[in-house]
Structure 1
Amino acid sequence: MKESDKNIENLIDKMMAENTLESPSMDFTSKIMSQVLESEKSKSKVYKPLISKTTWILIGIALAFLFIYNVYFVGTENNLDIGKSYTDKISAIVSGIHISKTIIYAILIVPFMILIQVGVLKNYFDKKYEL
């Protein structure tokens, strides 16, 4: 076993003596870094909004339609009776509920604060992940 190890070691020594040490070119690092940057650019994600423009347009059209419908058609005599009966039922259900001023203030302020936090966090993450 030792004899075969010595033969292998002698063979490796001869092979190492025949080959000279190769060094990379002078601009090796810049070439590698340019390839890394190109691969990073190709991997970067393109911003895609959560709600597309067409969806926003459809939501706007639906809201406009509801507004126009409410202004021109709900105020007529036929719909007034139906609306009044629903209003009476809703007021009968809600009349037993008492809400303190603190709860009302919280209901009004919390959505506003959430919107502010969303804006602040969006700016923070945009700056953090900016290339």
Structure 2
Amino acid sequence: MEEQYKDIKRLVKEAGTENPSVDFLQKVMSEVKIASADRPIAYQPLISKKAWLVMGILIIGILISSPFLSEGTSILDKVDFSLLNGVKNPFASFKLHDATIYGIIFLATLFMVQITVIKRRIDKIYSI
């Protein structure tokens, strides 16, 4: 196994190490200063305001409507599919159980709390 590496060791010894020029650090730092001064960083959110609005409306709708749903009723029972000529309501037996409703409410609440905490943290990190 050592025989494989003898050639590599010899080649590395022959090549030696390269030393940067004396003013290498100064040249690099001057280029960094020029590059950073050219373009100011513009903040662009990952999720647009319209998307936040749609998500907020959906979450609020779920939070408001979920307590009114119980195991005995279904929202989709009230939908009229008579326009489809003979097609039965595919969601006639769809019901949300109480545990599902409470889970949705709990997860939506945690989601909203996390979003506010993460937004504050990001604002604090990227504030100028």
Q: Normalization by structure 2: what TM-score?
A: 0.36
Highest relative contact order (Cα 8 Å, sep 6+), 1 or 2? 2
Q: Normalization by structure 1: what TM-score?
A: 0.36
Which one has the bigger helix percentage? 1
